[in-house]
Amino acid sequence: MSSNSLSQAPSQGLIVGVDAGGTKTAAWLGRLCQTDANAGAEAALQSIVTVLGRGAAGPGNPRRVGFAAATESLREAIGEAYHAAELELAPAAAMCLGVAGAGRAEEQQQLQQWCLSTGLAEHARVTGDALPLLAATYADRPLTSLADLQGLALICGTGSMAWGCCGSMAEGNWREVRAGGWGYLLGDEGSAYWIAMRGLQMVCRTHDEQTIKTKLMDAMLSQLKLQQASDLVEWLYRGAVERAAIAQLAPLVTGLAEGPEPDAIALQIVDQAAQELARLVRCVARQLDLQLTTIPNPNTESGQSTSLAVTGGVLLGSELLRRRLRDYLQPAQIAIVPVESPVQGALYLAANLYASSAT
């Protein structure tokens, strides 16, 4: 049977987590281990959630590619995960979709209805892409801890956004706040697109002033296979250049800033990016009335640092950017936790949904 053909076979307790972004969609198929209720209550999530298969597909952000294209990517990635596990595609017991571009309730309800109506899951939860990111840092905590997620998250890929939550769902005072995520015309400060555009602008300024010394000119023109700075006009304005293609230039900037002989202009851009990202994090903390030293972090011996989950190609790929971000967040005790696979958090949230629906 094709990996995209839905079987009506029992789900056998299968759970699915999905992380859908503007450039790619990842899906993990797993199973919540059937352990004794008392014994499993305090077991670490990573010990009771088994990953069976992984799948990937194209963009899953409905705001960027439209609902039909986004759901096609979701279905393809989920189908690949089942295929990798050598299982027929069947209704999962529970599924969590963490979707960029689905931050509003109506968008989440539309995707949830699609998930249930297509028979992909018996129970479904749809969130924005930040909640699974934070949940991924809970790998060494028990399943019950997901009922009251608290902390901060920072996404910095093609775009940028900070998010945070605090309070208790059980007590009804749980709050979530976001800052950034306005898109490339209104914001996305510190993102790959923002860094790349600053680099391109400095190439143009270098050409005009003839006094600025930077390696960015040669590096960017070489990457784009252009002969001279003036060729940028033709490349950018007369061609259908995707934002993602521009964002791919960001590693040139961060790479030159981190090289054995750091480029001063590249360093300046990375430093400005760190300042902007730190501003987003502080905006969220302030709106939540959150003191940046009050959330326990299990990854530190003292347990006093605030955990900031970060993901996205820019932050994961540049140790310098993460270090400068930490510098600009001082004097707060921040433990920056890089998350390679936010989809893992979506799988944990699916496990929590499954356990809740079974009681």
Residue 118 shares a structural domain with residue 249: no
pLDDT tens digits, residue range 306-353? 778 999 888 999 999 999 999 998 877 778 889 999 999 999 999 989
Identify whether 253 is part of a domain: yes
CA R_g for the chain: 22
pLDDT tens digits, residue range 144-174? 888 778 889 999 988 899 999 887 766 777 7
What is the chain's length?
Answer: 359
Residue 253 shares a structural domain with residue 108: no
Would you state the pLDDT for residue 63? Answer: 80
Identify whether 221 is part of a domain: yes
Identify whether 65 is part of a domain: yes
Residue 219 shares a structural domain with residue 330: yes
Residue 110 shares a structural domain with residue 212: no
Query: Per-residue pLDDT for 39 more than 60?
Result: no
Q: Which residue, 288, 30, 333, 293, is CA-closest to 167?
A: 288
Residue 28 shares a structural domain with residue 158: no
Would you state the pLDDT for residue 34? Answer: 59
- Which pTM does this prediction carry? 0.82
pLDDT band at 62 (very low <50, low <70, confident <90, very high): confident
Residue 237 shares a structural domain with residue 313: yes
Buried b (16+ CB within 10 A) or exposed e, 78-101: bbbbbbbbebbbbbbbbbbbbbbb
pLDDT band at 199 (very low <50, low <70, confident <90, very high): very high
Tally of CB atoms within 10 A around 64: 19
Residue 222 shares a structural domain with residue 352: no
Identify whether 143 is part of a domain: no
pLDDT tens digits, residue range 111-120? 899 988 998 9
Compute the CA torsion angle 155, 156, 162, 167 (nearest 10 deg).
Answer: 20
Is pLDDT larger for residue 35 or for residue 266?
266
Would you state the pLDDT for residue 244? Answer: 82
Q: What mean pLDDT comes out for the span 63-89?
A: 91
Identify whether 188 is part of a domain: yes
Residue 157 shares a structural domain with residue 263: yes
Residue 304 shares a structural domain with residue 271: yes
Tally of CB atoms within 10 A around 44: 15
Number of domains in the chain: 2
Q: What is the CATH number of the domain that holds 232?
A: 3.30.420.40
Domain that holds residue 242: 148-339
Identify whether 142 is part of a domain: no
Residue 115 shares a structural domain with residue 159: no
Residue 104 shares a structural domain with residue 210: no
Q: What mean pLDDT comes out for the span 1-24?
A: 70
Residue 274 shares a structural domain with residue 154: yes
CA-CA distance, 138 to 265, in Å (whole number)?
A: 38
pLDDT band at 75 (very low <50, low <70, confident <90, very high): very high
CA-CA distance, 22 to 60, in Å (whole number)?
A: 6
Would you state the pLDDT for residue 290? Answer: 65
pLDDT band at 1 (very low <50, low <70, confident <90, very high): very low
pLDDT tens digits, residue range 208-261? 888 878 899 999 999 999 999 988 988 888 877 888 889 999 999 999 999 888
pLDDT tens digits, residue range 14-26? 999 999 987 889 9
pLDDT band at 359 (very low <50, low <70, confident <90, very high): low
Query: Per-residue pLDDT for 301 more than 70?
Result: no
Would you state the pLDDT for residue 11? Answer: 60
